[in-house]
A and B are shown apart, each in its own frame.
Chain A
Amino acid sequence: MADLTADIATGSAPGRLTTADGKPLKAALAAAESHARRRAFFLVLPLLLFVLITFIFPIVQMLHQSIYNPGFTLHRDVGTGVKTPIMINVRNWFDENERGSDPDESAYAALHKDFLLLDELRAAGSVGTRINYDMSGTRSLFTKTARRADKLTPPFQEGFLAIDKDWSDPEVWAVMRGASSAYTANFYLAAVDLTRDVKGDVVSVDDNRALYVKLFGRTLFLSLLITFLTFILAFPVAHLLATLPLRYSNLLMIFVLLPFWTSLLVRTTSWMVLLQSQGVINDALVAGSLIEDESRIQMMYNQTGTVIAMTHILLPFMILPLYSVMRTIKPVYVRAARSLGATSWTAFRRIYFPQTVPGIGAGALLVFILAVGYYITPALVGGADGQLISNLIAFHMTNSLNWSLAAALASLLLVGILILYWLYDRLIGIDNLKLG
Chain B
Amino acid sequence: MKTRSILLATVFGTAATMAFADAHTAKEITVMSWGGAYSKSQLEAYEKPFAEKTGIKVNSVVADNPATPIKAQVEAGNVTIDVVDVEYADALRLCDDGLLEILDPAILADGADGSAAMDDFLPGAVTDCFVATIVFSTMYAFDETKFPENPPSKIEDFFDVAGFPGKRGMRKTAKVNLEMALMADGVAPDEVYDILETDEGVDRAFAKLETIKNDVVWWEAGAQPPQLLADGEVAMTTAYNGRIFGATVSEGKPFKSIFDGQVYEYDGYAIPKGAPNLEAALEFVTFSTQTQQLADQAKYISYGPARKSSGPLVGLFEDGKTEMGPFMPTAEANLVKALPSNTEFWADRNTDLNERFNAWLAQ
Interface residues of A (CB under 8 A from B): 77-79, 81, 121-126, 129, 132, 136-137, 139-140, 143-144, 208-211, 214-215, 276-278, 301, 383-385, 387, 392, 395, 398-401
Contacts and interface: CB of A to CB of B under 8 A. Distances in A.
A144 B348 CA distance: 9
A126 B362 contact: no
Grouping DSSP codes into helix (H, G, I), strand (E, B) and loop, the B interface class, with mixed when no group exceeds half, is helix
Interface in B347-363: 347-349, 351-352, 354-356, 358-363
Given A125-B96, A277-B232, 14 more contacts: A78-B273, A122-B97, A122-B98, A125-B97, A126-B97, A132-B351, A136-B352, A144-B348, A209-B355, A209-B359, A211-B359, A276-B233, A387-B362, A398-B69
A269 to B, nearest CB: 13
Interface string B274-292: 1000000000000000000
A154 to B, nearest CB: 26
Given A126-B97, A136-B356, A383-B218, A399 B68 contact: yes
Interface in B318-363: 347-349, 351-352, 354-356, 358-363
Given A78-B273, A278-B232, A398-B72, A210 B348 contact: no
Contact of A140 (B68, B69, B348): B348
Nearest to B228: A276
27 contacts: A78-B75, A78-B99, A78-B274, A79-B274, A121-B98, A122-B97, A122-B98, A123-B98, A126-B98, A136-B355, A140-B348, A143-B96, A143-B347, A208-B356, A209-B356, A276-B231, A277-B232, A277-B233, A278-B233, A384-B218, A384-B362, A392-B358, A398-B69, A400-B351, A400-B355, A401-B71, A401-B72
B217 interface: yes
A387 B220 CA distance: 15
Given A277-B232, A278-B232, A78 B352 contact: no
A143 B217 CA distance: 35
A395 B359 CA distance: 12
Contacts of A401: 68, 71-72, 75
B123 interface: no
A144 B75 CA distance: 22
Nearest to B173: A399
Nearest to B203: A208
A392 B355 CA distance: 11
Contacts of A81: 77
Interface in B40-96: 68-69, 71-72, 74-75, 77, 93, 96
B325 to A, nearest CB: 34
B68 A139 contact: no
Given A126-B97, A276-B233, A277-B232, A398 B355 contact: no
A144 B344 CA distance: 10
B77 A215 contact: no
A190 to B, nearest CB: 10
A125 B352 contact: no
B352 A132 contact: yes
A333 B304 CA distance: 79
Nearest to B230: A278
Contacts of B232: 277-278
Given A125-B96, A136-B356, A301-B217, A278 B72 contact: no
B105 to A, nearest CB: 19
Interface string B157-189: 000000000010000000000000000000000
Contacts of A210: 359
The 9 closest A-B pairs by CB, nearest first: A140-B348, A122-B98, A125-B97, A125-B96, A278-B232, A211-B359, A136-B352, A384-B361, A137-B352
A78 B361 CA distance: 34
A392 B71 CA distance: 18
A224 to B, nearest CB: 19
Contacts of B354: 399-400
A234 to B, nearest CB: 30
Contacts of B358: 211, 392, 395
A151 to B, nearest CB: 18
Contacts of A143: 96, 347-348
B77 A78 contact: yes
A401 B97 CA distance: 13
B362 A140 contact: no
A298 to B, nearest CB: 8
Nearest to A384: B361
A222 to B, nearest CB: 13
B273 A208 contact: no
